[in-house]
Amino acid sequence: MNEESLERANAFLAAAVRRVPPGEMLDVTPAEIGRDAGFAQPLAAARAVRALLARRRLEAVGTKYRLLDARPVEPGERETVPRAPRKRRVTPERATGGGPARGPTYSQLGQEMVEKLIELGREVGTLRASLRTAREESRDAREAKDEAERRAHALTARVRELEARAEMAESNLRTLLAAARSSGREVPVGDTEMEAILGVLKKEAEEQQARAGSSGS
């Protein structure tokens, strides 16, 4: 394991330890723990999980993972879950101790290809799980965004309606005052009458705001 992979694995392990103690199941997906560890891509989280599984820090239980050990991975630490050992290539010349060594046989090449395919299949499985989790999280975020936009549109329409009503009430008040002045009597509107008119308008505005708040929530 190179230095970058070691740092990535230990960062993922530290983020997992902050969530659950050793022996407990991780309560979130590896992709979310990877974001807590500062990984920009789900692939980095998948590779960290693979390294920690091989060194017995994590254990796969179905589709979830259990934290086994909180100790950071040491430089040069070998995998405790080794891969299938490769058979030593023995040609007839080497077996008899004579003649130059020949190239690998078809059976040896086939065995190496099978081992490589098994290794790639495991990595693909981990990547598919991370991709599925990322798609689900993206769908949830998109639905939340659509709901927020619908609420914003509804609140904007309600604010416009209240503004129009306020303008209408102000216009009616001006018309009423103008009619009072043109009635032939110069009777000024006193403070008591003005407070009564403003009280009615204020009460109506508060009721409209309360209805707007309840419909928006």
Q: How large is the greatest C-alpha to C-alpha distance in the chain, in angstroms?
A: 133
Going by C-alpha positions, the residue among 72, 103, 97 that lies closest to residue 10 is 72
pLDDT tens sequence across 44-102: 888 888 888 888 889 888 888 899 988 898 888 887 755 555 555 555 445 445 444 56
Q: pLDDT value at position 152?
A: 92
Q: pLDDT value at position 7?
A: 86
CATH of 1-82 among 1.20.1730.10, 3.20.20.140, 3.40.50.10490, 1.10.10.10: 1.10.10.10
Q: Tell me how far apart the alpha carbons of residues 168 and 182 are, in angstroms, rounded to a whole number.
A: 21
Going by C-alpha positions, the residue among 63, 76, 37, 68 that lies closest to residue 52 is 68
Separation of first and last alpha carbons in the chain: 53
As beta bridge partners, residue 64 has 61
> pLDDT tens string for the chain (217 positions)?
688 888 888 898 898 999 899 999 988 888 888 888 888 788 888 888 888 888 888 988 888 889 998 889 888 888 775 555 555 555 544 544 544 456 678 778 888 888 888 888 888 888 888 888 888 888 889 999 999 999 999 999 988 888 888 888 878 877 877 776 676 555 555 556 666 666 666 666 666 667 666 655 5
Q: pLDDT value at position 201?
A: 65
3-state secondary structure of 186: coil
Question: Rounded to the nearest 5 degrees, what angle is found at the Cα of 45, between the Cα atoms of 40 and 50?
Answer: 155
What count of residues does the chain have? 217
Q: Tell me how far apart the alpha carbons of residues 17 and 161 are, in angstroms, rounded to a whole number.
A: 53
Q: pLDDT value at position 91?
A: 52
Q: pLDDT value at position 95?
A: 47
Tokens of 108: 């040896």
Q: Where are the domains of the chain?
A: 1-82
Tokens of 130: 């991370």
Q: Tell me how far apart the alpha carbons of residues 150 and 144 are, in angstroms, rounded to a whole number.
A: 10
Tokens of 11: 């960062």
Rg of the chain over CA atoms, in angstroms?
Answer: 36
Q: pLDDT value at position 81?
A: 59
Residues whose CB falls within 8 Å of the CB of residue 154, separated by 6 or more in sequence, listed in order: 215, 216
